[in-house]
């Protein structure tokens, strides 16, 4: 079976002309998708998760670039009218190239750790930034945190293995809490807020709070959704419909994969 058809029961190849294309390394971007659907319920959306190759966050820059390019190309060939890279890691590596390639044809929106809203809410506060190793070591994060360094103190915490673990589902299992504790224990009671700098992490808000207590958590979903809304409006690309279609695609051709995507979509990830 062509894996691009996963989740599409029609059995024939379909194009997604006029859809919003949303891409992530796997299930994480579904947390952004929820915010997009809440902001733009009338838009048709097609979500592509590269779960066959997830996680990206511990791969080399070249690998991330190649994989991101391949997935975005696939969405472009399907005819999407806007592209949302719902992945901090892929954005850090590839957004400049993607904009160069596609931005003259359609809106291209990336994801970056929500450190600005966190710094605005907690001026001079101590803000923990959880993200993949790739996101934290790349220039984009260094530039952003440097720009805001006078406004708050940022403590980057790379979480290798965490996105990969979230890909497997079963989010209340003790091994996930154990992994989280290994990253977060030194900071219990020490920080004012936490930025979820990987789109997989909003799915484990509850588990993070179990370890860190009632700390405010920031993610980029709602900001991305507002930005997409603005860009569609400016370019007169809004659908004008009341209810849009939602299609899930995965590069991982496993029988339960699309069910996992739907299940993640039904979880309350984006609620603050």
x/- binding map, residues 80-109, to ligand DGL, per CB under 6 A? -------xxx--------------------
Residue choice 33, 40, 54, 193 for contact with ligand DGL (CB under 6 A)? 54
270 touches ligand DGL (CB under 6 A):
no
- Locus of tokens 């899930």: 248
Question: 88 or 207: whose CB is closer to ligand DGL?
Answer: 88
Query: Is 71 an annotated catalytic residue?
Result: no
Q: From the CB of 206, what's the least distance to ligand DGL, in Å? A: 18
Q: Which two tokens stand for residue 82?
A: 């806007």
End-to-end CA distance of the chain: 39
Q: Where are the alpha helices (DSSP H) in the chain?
A: 30-39, 61-77, 88-102, 115-121, 133-137, 139-147, 162-167, 174-184, 205-212, 221-234, 257-265
The CA distance from 6 to 67, in Å, is 19
Question: 84 or 198: whose CB is closer to ligand DGL?
Answer: 198
Residue choice 25, 250, 251, 270 for contact with ligand DGL (CB under 6 A)? 25
Question: 26 or 107: whose CB is closer to ligand DGL?
Answer: 26
Q: Which positions from 144 through 163 interact with ligand DGL, judged by CB under 6 A?
A: 163
199 touches ligand DGL (CB under 6 A):
yes
Question: How many of the chain's residues bind ligand DGL (CB under 6 A)?
Answer: 17
The CA distance from 194 to 121, in Å, is 11
Burial 235-263 (b: 16+ CB within 10 A, else e): eebebeeeebebbbbbbbeeeebbebbee
Q: From the CB of 90, what's the least distance to ligand DGL, in Å? A: 7
The CA distance from 216 to 200, in Å, is 17
Q: Which positions from 233 through 262 interact with ligand DGL, judged by CB under 6 A?
A: none
Question: 79 or 161: whose CB is closer to ligand DGL?
Answer: 161
Nearest to 107 by CA among 226, 232, 17: 232
Question: 107 or 110: whose CB is closer to ligand DGL?
Answer: 110
The CA distance from 71 to 20, in Å, is 14
Residue 133 CA to its chain's centroid (Å): 15
Question: 5 or 155: whose CB is closer to ligand DGL?
Answer: 155
Stretch that binds ligand DGL, among 13-21, 170-178, 197-205, 239-247 (CB under 6 A): 197-205
Exposed / middle / buried, residue 3 (Cβ in 10 Å: 0-12, 13-18, 19+): middle
Neighbours of 178 (CB within 10 A): 10
Q: From the CB of 57, what's the least distance to ligand DGL, in Å? A: 3
195 touches ligand DGL (CB under 6 A):
no
Q: Which two tokens stand for residue 29?
A: 């971007």
Residue choice 74, 116, 165, 200 for contact with ligand DGL (CB under 6 A)? 200
Query: Is 198 an annotated catalytic residue?
Result: yes
Q: What is the contact surface with ligand DGL in residues (CB under 6 A)?
A: 24-26, 28, 54-57, 87-89, 132, 135, 163, 198-200
Q: Which residues does the annotation mark as catalytic?
A: 87, 198
């Amino acid at each position: 079976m062509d894996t691009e058809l996963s989740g599409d029961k029609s059995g024939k190849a379909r194009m997604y002309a006029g859809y919003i294309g949303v891409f992530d390394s796997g299930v994480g971007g579904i947390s952004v998708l929820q915010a997009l659907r809440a902001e733009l319920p009338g838009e048709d959306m097609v979500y592509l998760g590269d779960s066959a190759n997830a996680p990206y966050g511990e791969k080399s820059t070249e690998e991330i670039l190649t994989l991101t390019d391949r997935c975005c190309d696939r969405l472009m060939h399907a005819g999407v009218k806007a592209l949302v890279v719902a992945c901090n890691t892929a954005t850090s590596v590839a957004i400049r190239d993607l904009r160069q390639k596609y931005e003259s044809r359609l809106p291209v929106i990336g994801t970056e750790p929500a450190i600005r809203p966190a710094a605005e809410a907690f001026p001079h506060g101590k803000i923990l930034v959880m993200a993949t190793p790739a996101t934290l070591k790349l220039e984009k994060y260094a530039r952003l945190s440097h720009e805001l360094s006078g406004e708050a103190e940022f403590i980057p915490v790379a979480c290798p293995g965490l996105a990969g673990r979230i890909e497997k589902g079963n989010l209340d299992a003790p091994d996930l809490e154990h992994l989280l504790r290994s990253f977060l224990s030194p900071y219990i009671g020490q920080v004012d807020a936490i930025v979820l700098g990987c789109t997989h992490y909003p799915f484990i808000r509850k588990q993070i709070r179990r370890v860190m207590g009632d700390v405010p958590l920031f993610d980029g979903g709602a900001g991305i959704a507002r930005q997409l809304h603005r860009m569609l409006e400016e370019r007169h690309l809004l659908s004008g419909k009341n209810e849009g279609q939602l299609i899930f695609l995965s590069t991982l051709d496993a029988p339960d994969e699309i069910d996992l995507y739907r299940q993640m979509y039904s979880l309350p990830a984006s609620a603050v």
